[in-house]
Amino acid sequence: MAHTFSCYRHYNLTIYLSRQTIKTLPTVCCSMATAVFLLSCYLLHYRERKILEEWAEFCGGKNKMVAMWAGAVQERFNYLYLKLDDVMPRAFQIGPLGLYDIDVRQGQLQHLP
């Protein structure tokens, strides 16, 4: 899996990878990700060790990402979507009520049409 992510990244491939636990995911897969979908996480050691360590820098640090993540997934069936392939990373809340853009710097929701 790590070979595919690292060697074929220049061929404009779209690879979907779904994992229930992120701790077994090779680091190269996390660092090459252009999009991440996060659900609520009840195990704090998973959140601290891998998820925040890998993607918090794109969201203004650990504290901002924890607040943004908690706000995005507080309702059932909501997800936090991190779009990492833009010049400035973007975050979205996806759920039954639609798609909301989250201002990464402010942490505020804005409904998208």
**What angle (nearest 5°) sits at the alpha carbon of residue 16, between those of residues 92 and 30?**
75
Q: Would you say residue 4 lies in a domain?
A: no
**pLDDT of 21-33, one tens digit each?**
666 777 777 777 7
Work out the average pLDDT over 86-104. Answer: 86
pTM: 0.78
Is 5 among the domain residues? Answer: no
**Is 48 a domain residue?**
yes
13 domain-assigned: no
Specify if 8 maps to a domain. Answer: no
The answer as to whether 88 is a domain residue is: yes
Q: How many domains is the chain built from?
A: 1
Q: Please choose, from the candidates 62, 63, 67, 1, the residue with its C-alpha nearest in 3D space to the C-alpha of residue 32.
A: 1
Q: At residue 109, does pLDDT exceed 80?
A: no
The residues with which 82 forms a beta bridge, in sequence order, are 36, 91
Mean pLDDT of 60-65: 85
Residue 91 lies in a domain: yes
Q: Tell me if 61 is assigned to some domain.
A: yes
Instruction: Print the domain residue range for 43.
Output: 20-25+34-111
